[in-house]
Amino acid sequence: MKKFLEPESVALIGVPRQSGPGSYNNAETMLRYGFQGRIYPINPNAAEICGLKAYPAVGDVPDTVDLAVISVGRDRVIPMVEKCIQAGIRRIVIITQGFADADAAGRDMQARILTMARESGVRILGPNTMGVVNNFKRFTTAFIDLEPPRDFPPVSLIAQTGVIQVAAQNMAYRNWGKAIDIGNGADLDVVDALEYLAADPETKVIAVYLEGVSRGRAFLEAASRAALSKPVLVFKSGRSRAGARAALSHTGSLVGEDHVFDAAFQRAGVLRVKSGMELKDAIRALLLMGEMKGPRLGVLTITGAGGIMVADACEDFGLTLARLPEGLAETLQKGIPDWIHIGNPIDIWPVGMIGGNYPGVFGLSLEALLRSPEVDGVVVILPVTNSPLHANLNMENVVARVRQQVGNSKPVALWPYIDTDAFIDRYEAIPGVACFDTIEQAVQGLSFCHHYHLAKTRSIPVQKQFPYDHEALKPILRKGRQDRILLGEDAMSLLRIFGIPTAGGAMAASGQDLPAAAASLRYPLVLKLSGRAFLHKSEWGGVVTGIRNGEELRSAYEAMIRKVRERDPGVAVGAVQVQEQIQGRELLMGLKRDPQFGPVIACGMGGIHAEILKDVHQSIIPIDQAEALHMLTSLKMFPLLKGVRGEASVDLTSLADCLERLSFLALEIPDITELDLNPVMAMLKGCAVVDARILWE
Amino acid sequence: MKKFLEPESVALIGVPRQSGPGSYNNAETMLRYGFQGRIYPINPNAAEICGLKAYPAVGDVPDTVDLAVISVGRDRVIPMVEKCIQAGIRRIVIITQGFADADAAGRDMQARILTMARESGVRILGPNTMGVVNNFKRFTTAFIDLEPPRDFPPVSLIAQTGVIQVAAQNMAYRNWGKAIDIGNGADLDVVDALEYLAADPETKVIAVYLEGVSRGRAFLEAASRAALSKPVLVFKSGRSRAGARAALSHTGSLVGEDHVFDAAFQRAGVLRVKSGMELKDAIRALLLMGEMKGPRLGVLTITGAGGIMVADACEDFGLTLARLPEGLAETLQKGIPDWIHIGNPIDIWPVGMIGGNYPGVFGLSLEALLRSPEVDGVVVILPVTNSPLHANLNMENVVARVRQQVGNSKPVALWPYIDTDAFIDRYEAIPGVACFDTIEQAVQGLSFCHHYHLAKTRSIPVQKQFPYDHEALKPILRKGRQDRILLGEDAMSLLRIFGIPTAGGAMAASGQDLPAAAASLRYPLVLKLSGRAFLHKSEWGGVVTGIRNGEELRSAYEAMIRKVRERDPGVAVGAVQVQEQIQGRELLMGLKRDPQFGPVIACGMGGIHAEILKDVHQSIIPIDQAEALHMLTSLKMFPLLKGVRGEASVDLTSLADCLERLSFLALEIPDITELDLNPVMAMLKGCAVVDARILWE
């Protein structure tokens, strides 16, 4: 990948003869950008382009070509790739669009190009890409003329689009250091780019724009490794259904279910942003401030209203207000009237004005906040003004001095107002200090720093192994794979093999078998229809609860048969399931095979509210006990599990164990495509699956 | 209020002798700001301040003084107010802090000042205020030196803080036209300021920053009237619990429950913003683009990724993607390859580039979108660049021409990227066009325009009158007022008088009365403890359901008595409630008297999930049927009421009627402070209150 960003010689295939306005001549843009390497325009109809000698074909270039950039019409791309391969060129950027992003013919051509690349060992970036920008080398492959930045941070971008590299002033913090547009990602993709940037010493923060991924597990691993050494931000669009549809038509990549991406990003330790604004702010926060080790904010404000806005934003972004450092209130209270209330947020205006020593109390307070073991980061709200009348309000030297005295272990986010633009650079030159456009963005910036800390220090789950009876599994697995589905007692017995607790139950092939089926079970019982015809049992009147004895069981069975016949005389009832009735809080658990990320485990609220309230947490497999408990505590319904109004908690350990076993099961039987346990009853002691369905594709 | 903003003569009381750096001399700031009126500094120790003749006392000024500005220490404020009154001054700004914002002594002084004002007819702004800014007159009372803006829009601010007027460049769009800091609002408050700005021809958009209100109903009415003539934006902070605490210590205003404010703002037709960023964007959107009459967006983008971001943002902000105008796809498809897919978002890049007529297809598409009856507003994503190579990408003239051709009835929000700052003013000079920093903000800006339309065209509920038996109400009302509470059948009978359906029930004073109580009821029955000792019945085992006959009723009663005795032998069971058992979807309904806004009605999910999931909608009383139905459809649980998986809907009309009657009840018995109906069972036909509690303070 490296030579894509810093080639010494480049061949431009498809560069137009014209240059100047409206020509999109990438020899011209490359020259204007200040690239110092050798440029070879390839054009059979020109001897010279932009003052550079042109060659009829790549094979004619009398030099080693590190990189070829192809921008001919889509039908001429394959022959050009062929010529590059023949000429011994090892790296190709294909700018041209109209491949997997367009139609079936385009997809076929893209597949052909990929085969050519694989067979020859040549690496391809694109098609449908702007290529790369590397400001360290003043190199760009784009055909859009951009001003090379005087100043750019060590922040690099990987995107499935060119717009974010072109709009560097709009979506980056100042600019990008390097940018890679993977386009359709036919060969080189986000995984390759991540691996390169993770190891790149010129990159301190990685920003990724994704619409989908095609190698989900590899992405997870590459992102996870990258996140250990530097912050990785992901702006994943196509969150909404309409957005996903638009994404499909855009780059032709796989767009998965959005909350599976959330689970994957969480597992990989990368931070998700949801807008261009968040992208910019998160980069600024992480680049300038780094980690914040806890959620507790100290607030130093020259306006009471600002303190309230910080408090609101804390709640929005998951941070808290710290306790005031011990002794600080007493110190500040000296020499000022009693009626001035001192708390956190510290409203420095009355203290500083009435005491007549604003810089003194400002410095004292900032230092106390930064030294306090109760404070993890600080928000400062202060006026910055060019007015000669207010030079005394300028706290730049105070902030710098305190920073030097206390060291750089805690971030400081500023909202500097009035003549903001004149002061940002000066405040941001102080280590660990970043300035934001609004108070809310300052707090959100710190929350990114905190989430980065959580991501960096997260533990990576290791799957616990559970012994099970491999022999007992064989026949039931055979049946499942043959029928592509397991229901009722069949599904239950598979679960029992893996030690997942289930409601006691048995099948009765007919009415006569009911007493035998019920013999080993405790009343009250539930009678259920079973079999593929009755996937939605309740629609058939196929669940009868509260059966208190053998007589009621028989009459429930007869009534059930009658109902089915009434609804559809052609359907046979077959075997029915008799099950012990269990009381508890209803949850659902499940497994799903995601096309990108593989097995995903879910846990959420069960019962009638499940589908409406969508209170479900998903995790990528494997999970461990800590992650299983995290899944449970993340639910909105968690207080119900924990017990409201003095009720006892349900058995959370047993629910977590159940989830861990489910994760193990998913790894042991990797061909299951879907598994639903709904409901799982959580009890004061233990839990039990009441209904289950297991599917093979 | 007007003369506060455009006085011809001002006396400044407490202006320091010193001027220059660090002196906060408001004579100096007023002069520097360019005020052309007469300024009289009042200072017994100076003959001249900033070149102005100073007077020892206000009474000494040989001129009519339109406005006095007091900024002495808090203990000297009252005498100064007295002197102003004696001197015949009618308007006073009190800058000084340390009143209701501080302690009990400060609250007393503020009350005294208010009394003085009321008795003399003098109007007071403050205390604890920066006062006013009026850029139309280059007038400011603030002691902070600000650059007077060259350019400011007809947007005015009312705030409970000075920071937002000082930070005009940070929180306003360009600047404020006028700003009024009401401070503690002792006399003039947000209501007065709203009334003034509603009628002010120099104000086209009103922005309000609130921490709380003290005259809730008057605020509602003033805001509601203002919102009919111009957009009113409210940034209400203190949303979070921590924020509300901070607000209390800031201005001493009443901070109410935050979702009651939501209900109030909705009723008043004002738009709420939740951050400084939203405030700025909403002003920009409403000032430049005005109303958007529907939620359907057309999207014209030069980048596919931008289209996806728009689609995501649509979901976030409640807008939708419009259908492509008829015939447009066919027109655009002419002369370009088949594989270029045309939809909405319209990805104009391949169409324009490959066809070689970018300005043509851009103009054609924009015009088609703006003319289409299926499109309510347009988002445009386009590069704007100073590069001489890309003059052909500049669409400013195209946008202006199309706007002229199609008129200004639909808003156009732009995301112009690359050299944005150089182009904003030029694009925003086109009527109905606004530029935003990010794609998401552009979409959100349009959503403000749409919500403004909804607010402007909203219907204001009129309370339906229901006949009821006034005589029957008297004794029960007497009992309630005497006991301060009505429970069980007492509460039920009050509800029945107002035609609110309830489960059939009766009281039994003892075990012997059970058969009589049950005589007119249909089994199955429920037996419930009653009385104030058992407010949380379930903790006492005080609810038994599923009672199928008289025998079961008796044994349930005996068991209940036993349980109560076991728990607390000192408590007597007294009368019990026997009630028909009702099946249905559980809701809760209720009334609450909000200290600011008066009676509020609530409706939400009932049952065990109610407290956890907080799926509740609140409205300000009165409501009508439309609003009652809106309350129901706003609930997350609404799909459950409407019926999932082919179930029939519950009786929504009957639920709405019940809410309307509840609203009527609240107006008829205005001293009820709280009323809880929980649960209300919604059935396929009708609904019924199962448990009720009515409280008087």
Alpha helices in B407-530 (DSSP H): 420-428, 439-456, 470-483, 488-497, 514-519
- Choosing among B308, B320, B340, B640, which should be mutated to test the A contact, i.e. which has the most A CBs within 10 A? B308
State how far residue B582 is from chain A, nearest Cα, in angstroms: 18
pLDDT of residue A227: 95
Pairwise CA distance, residues A215 & B441, whole Å: 32
pLDDT higher for B382 or A333?
A: B382
Pairwise CA distance, residues A122 & A66, whole Å: 11
* A382-396, A458-472, B546-560, B599-613: the lowest-pLDDT one: B599-613
B416 close to A174: Cβ distance less than 8 angstroms: no
For residue B565, CA distances in Å to A192, B543, B559, B571 come to: 73, 15, 10, 7
Q: At what angle do helices A241-251 and B304-317 cross, to 10 degrees?
A: 180
Could you say which of B311, B339, B389 has the minimum Cβ distance to residue A243? Answer: B311
Cβ-defined contact of A239 to B159 (cutoff 8 Å): no
**Has residue A647 got a pLDDT over 90?**
no
Chain A residue at shortest CA distance from B637: A612
Chain A residues lying within 8 Å of B310, measured CB to CB = 246
Averaged confidence pLDDT in chain A: 93
Cβ-defined contact of B418 to A171 (cutoff 8 Å): no
Pairwise CA distance, residues A400 & A395, whole Å: 9
Mean pLDDT, residues A647-674 taken together: 96
Chain B residue at shortest CA distance from A251: B304
Cβ-defined contact of B304 to A243 (cutoff 8 Å): no
Q: What six digits make up the tokens of A58?
A: 């790549």
Cβ-defined contact of B312 to A243 (cutoff 8 Å): yes
Mean pLDDT, residues A669-685 taken together: 95
Q: What is the pLDDT of residues A33-50, one digit of tens each?
A: 999 999 999 999 999 999
Cβ-defined contact of B146 to A387 (cutoff 8 Å): yes
Chain A residue at shortest CA distance from B391: A21
**Has residue B185 got a pLDDT over 60?**
yes
**Has residue A610 got a pLDDT over 80?**
no
pTM: 0.94
Mean pLDDT, residues B428-439 taken together: 97
DSSP B484-501: SEEEHHHHHHHHHHTT--
Burial B458-495 (b: 16+ CB within 10 A, else e): beebeeeeeebeeeebeebbeebeeeebbbbbbbbbbb
A209 φ, ψ to 5°? -110, 120
Torsion, Cα of B221, B225, B231, B232 (10° steps)? -20
Chain A residues lying within 8 Å of B333, measured CB to CB = none
Cβ-defined contact of A438 to B276 (cutoff 8 Å): yes
Q: What is the pLDDT of residues B302-357, one digit of tens each?
A: 999 999 999 999 999 999 999 999 999 999 988 888 888 889 999 998 888 777 88
**Has residue A249 got a pLDDT over 80?**
no
| Percent of chain A's residues with pLDDT above 70 | 98
Q: Which CATH architecture has domain A1-128?
A: 3-Layer(aba) Sandwich (3.40)
- Would you list the domain boundaries of chain A? 1-128, 149-274, 289-456, 504-581, 585-696
pLDDT of residue A252: 54
**Has residue A338 got a pLDDT over 80?**
yes
Confirm whether B1-128 and B585-696 share one CATH topology.
no
What CATH code is assigned to A289-456? 3.40.50.261
pLDDT of residue A178: 98
Q: What is the pLDDT of residues A504-541, one digit of tens each?
A: 999 999 889 999 999 999 999 999 998 777 877 777 87
Q: What is the pLDDT of residues B190-225, one digit of tens each?
A: 999 999 999 999 999 999 999 988 899 999 999 999
Cβ-defined contact of A160 to B419 (cutoff 8 Å): no
**Has residue A567 got a pLDDT over 90?**
no
Q: What is the pLDDT of residues A226-241, one digit of tens each?
A: 999 999 999 999 888 7
Q: Which residues pair with B689 in a beta bridge?
A: B502, B680
Pairwise CA distance, residues A104 & B549, whole Å: 72
Top-ranked range on mean pLDDT: pick from A582-596, B251-265, B608-622: A582-596
Q: Which CATH number fits domain B585-696: 3.40.50.1700, 3.60.20.30, 3.30.470.20, 3.40.190.10?
A: 3.30.470.20
pLDDT of residue A353: 79
Mean pLDDT, residues B432-442 taken together: 98
Chain A residues lying within 8 Å of B320, measured CB to CB = 242
Could you say which of B161, B240, B637 has the minimum Cβ distance to residue A311? Answer: B240
Q: A166: closest CA among A191, A185, A140? A: A140
Q: Which residues pair with B696 in a beta bridge?
A: B672
Q: At what angle do helices B241-251 and A304-317 cross, to 10 degrees?
A: 180
Q: What is the pLDDT of residues A61-70, one digit of tens each?
A: 999 999 999 9
B505-581: CATH class:
alpha beta
pLDDT of residue A468: 97
**Has residue A273 got a pLDDT over 90?**
yes
Cβ-defined contact of A350 to B97 (cutoff 8 Å): yes
> With bands split at pLDDT 50, 70 and 90, how would you rate the model's confidence at B249?
low
pLDDT of residue A68: 98
Cβ-defined contact of A637 to B392 (cutoff 8 Å): no
State how far residue B22 is from chain A, nearest Cα, in angstroms: 6
State how far residue B102 is from chain A, nearest Cα, in angstroms: 5
Chain A residue at shortest CA distance from B436: A170
Chain B residue at shortest CA distance from A21: B389
Chain B residues lying within 8 Å of A242, measured CB to CB = 311-312, 314-315, 320-321
B414 sits in which H/E element: strand B412-418
> With bands split at pLDDT 50, 70 and 90, how would you rate the model's confidence at B29?
very high
Mean pLDDT, residues A199-204 taken together: 98
Superfamily assignment of A504-581 in CATH? ATP-grasp fold, A domain (3.30.1490.20)
A546 sits in which H/E element: strand A543-547
Chain A residues lying within 8 Å of B26, measured CB to CB = none
State how far residue A476 is from chain B, nearest Cα, in angstroms: 32
Could you say which of B21, B392, B420 has the minimum Cβ distance to residue A391? Answer: B21
Mean pLDDT, residues A548-554 taken together: 93
pLDDT of residue A255: 54
**Has residue B251 got a pLDDT over 70?**
no
Q: What six digits make up the tokens of A393?
A: 């309000």
Could you say which of A209, A418, A612 has the minimum Cβ distance to residue B639? Answer: A612
Pairwise CA distance, residues A214 & A600, whole Å: 16
- Choosing among B109, B248, B389, B605, which should be mutated to test the A contact, i.e. which has the most A CBs within 10 A? B389
Neighbours of B286 (CB within 10 A): 28
Cβ-defined contact of B242 to A383 (cutoff 8 Å): no
Fold of A149-274: Rossmann fold (3.40.50)
Mean pLDDT, residues A135-163 taken together: 95
State how far residue B66 is from chain A, nearest Cα, in angstroms: 27
Pairwise CA distance, residues A390 & B580, whole Å: 75
Chain A residue at shortest CA distance from B170: A417
pLDDT of residue B352: 83
